[in-house]
Amino acid sequence: MVADRGFERRDFGDGFTWGVATAAYQIEGAWDADGKGPSIWDHFTHSAGPIPGVPRVRDRSDGDVACDFYHRHAQDVALTSELGFGAKRFSISWPRVLPDGVGRVNQAGLDFYSRVVDECLAAGLEPWVTLYHWDLPQRLQERGGWANRDVVGWFSEYVETVAAHLGDRVRHWMVFNEPLSFCVLGYLLGVHAPGVRSRSKFLAAVHHTNLAQAAGAAAIRARAQDPVVGTSQYLTSILPTGTTRIHQRAARSADAFTNRMYLEPNLGLGYPVDDCGFVAPIERHVRPGDDEAIVVDWDFLGVQYYTRLKAPPLPVPGLWTAPLFGRDFRRFELTATGWEVRPDGLYDVLERCHSYGRFPRLVVTENGAAFPDRLEGDRVRDASRVEFYRAHLAQVLRAHRDGIPVDGYFAWSLMDNFEWAEGYGPRFGIVYVDYPTQRRVVKDSGRWFAELLGA
């Protein structure tokens, strides 16, 4: 394997962070243990969808048990360090800490995260904490969730609570995980929790999330010791599906809708309404003073990259991950979720983020792929995933060599987990999880990382 890799760990530099990423709802289980309140994902997976007989989650599963990380964290933290990584990115479940979203603190929830942080530090892993990876307290959704402007204050209260408790040991913070995903899938298309389908609520959620980026960053800086504050965005490079002006306009619109809406307001650049008419009514949610309050001075940007998008000229912009459009139709390998493997797009995204001149550091906080894995005894021969990681890391190295300040890479994910509306079908882990027994089996891709990292 080493011979084919084309690079060594040292090529990325000594200060480069090597990590794995996970999210609370996707791995923890223990959905109602020790005082935890329900999240929108508990509610979404436990209730029937709008169309009788059509499940909200493909395999009718939920995150009640997931990978049982809540009880197996010590073993999973140890495994992460055995594989040679130096950092573990994980998210905090808001309703585990504040069961009603605001007010009463659940000490047992805070203690759980405190233990995980201590275990990471003892194992030589730097904890990188995401404050929101999509599991809003259900009590707050009953008051409108991200579509209610009060959420900015609710979020600040939660972030202050966590930062005050963990901020003596955690340095790296990400305020959000992929606002694009939870706003579009949860509030516009209704295929993720909370299952809302409304353009106006979607636009309200986007604006309130962008305000909460700034409020959250300020809350961390007020309560944590010497924090390094960033946020993680789904970013992609957009391909037009033809050469006419109409195709170019569709690509610009998709880019505004997918990338710029979540990056630019916090840089003081406003919303890209001129390039995307679909989002223009967002201006209705913007109040005097918001343009200033929304600005954040980020210490780093978390870049999450999975695939390129195609932008066919359609009324709703930029939602196509599928390779159905364009001249290069089916020239590229597809993952189990139907996404084209396009490592070059990661370089483009890093270069583009750097070109804003506003992010002192870029960190790839997620990158990975699902493939149809087969457990054969104690082995999972996931050669496609090994090649996926090799090719994407080669692009990170290329960016690094070109002077783009990318200084970290987190694989998505440590282990197979609950893939939201897709349930347990797609497996993204470098460690296989045999769900009935909760046995962990390091896949060939996990061994490949261990070899690269000199474990």
Q: Which is nearer to ligand BGC, 194 or 240 (CB)?
A: 194
Q: Does 177 bind ligand BGC (CB under 6 A)?
A: yes
**How many Cβ atoms are within 10 Å of 323's Cβ, its own excluded?**
20
Q: Which is nearer to ligand BGC, 366 or 382 (CB)?
A: 366
DSSP state of 374: -
**How many Cβ atoms are within 10 Å of 405's Cβ, its own excluded?**
15
Q: Does 147 bind ligand BGC (CB under 6 A)?
A: no
How many residues of this chain bind ligand BGC (CB under 6 A)? Answer: 11
Contact range with ligand BGC by CB under 6 A, out of 114-122, 173-181, 287-295, 389-397: 173-181
**Least distance from ligand BGC to the Cβ atom of residue 178, Å:** 5
Torsion sign (Cα): 137, 28, 307, 126: positive
- Yes or no: say if 353 and 303 are a contact pair by the CB < 8 Å rule: yes
Q: Does 23 bind ligand BGC (CB under 6 A)?
A: yes
Measured CA to CA, the distance from residue 301 to residue 304 in angstroms comes to 10
DSSP state of 191: S
> Which of 39, 93, 138, 181 is close enough to bind ligand BGC by CB under 6 A?
181
Q: Which is nearer to ligand BGC, 28 or 160 (CB)?
A: 28
Q: Does 135 bind ligand BGC (CB under 6 A)?
A: no
Site for ligand BGC in 35-94 (CB under 6 A): none
Looking up tokens 């932008």 gives 311
> Which of 202, 419, 430, 447 is close enough to bind ligand BGC by CB under 6 A?
419
Contacts of 11 (CB under 8 A, 6+ apart): 397
Q: Does 98 bind ligand BGC (CB under 6 A)?
A: no
> Which of 255, 348, 366, 407 is close enough to bind ligand BGC by CB under 6 A?
366
Q: Which two tokens stand for residue 401?
A: 């060599």
Q: Does 24 bind ligand BGC (CB under 6 A)?
A: no
What value, to the nearest 5°, has the Cα angle with vertex 63 and ends 186 and 122?
110
Measured CA to CA, the distance from residue 122 to residue 418 in angstroms comes to 28
Q: Does 162 bind ligand BGC (CB under 6 A)?
A: no
Q: Which two tokens stand for residue 157?
A: 């209260």
**Least distance from ligand BGC to the Cβ atom of residue 169, Å:** 24
Q: Does 412 bind ligand BGC (CB under 6 A)?
A: yes
From 293, 294, 332, 292, select the one nearest 310 (Cα to Cα). 332
Residue type, 40: I
**Least distance from ligand BGC to the Cβ atom of residue 173, Å:** 16
Contact range with ligand BGC by CB under 6 A, out of 39-47, 175-183, 212-220, 392-400: 175-183
- Where in the sequence numbering do the catalytic residues fall? 178, 366
End-to-end CA distance of the chain: 15
**Least distance from ligand BGC to the Cβ atom of residue 234, Å:** 6
Measured CA to CA, the distance from residue 70 to residue 10 in angstroms comes to 35
Q: Which is nearer to ligand BGC, 106 or 181 (CB)?
A: 181
**Least distance from ligand BGC to the Cβ atom of residue 339, Å:** 9
Q: Give the rounded distance of the alpha carbon of 152 from its chain centre.
A: 20
Alpha carbon distances (Å) from 390 to 79, 199, 379, 424: 21, 39, 20, 25
- Yes or no: say if 249 and 311 are a contact pair by the CB < 8 Å rule: no
Q: Does 178 bind ligand BGC (CB under 6 A)?
A: yes
**Least distance from ligand BGC to the Cβ atom of residue 380, Å:** 18
**Least distance from ligand BGC to the Cβ atom of residue 343, Å:** 17
* Binding interface with ligand BGC (CB under 6 A): 23, 26, 177-178, 181, 234, 304, 366, 412, 419, 428
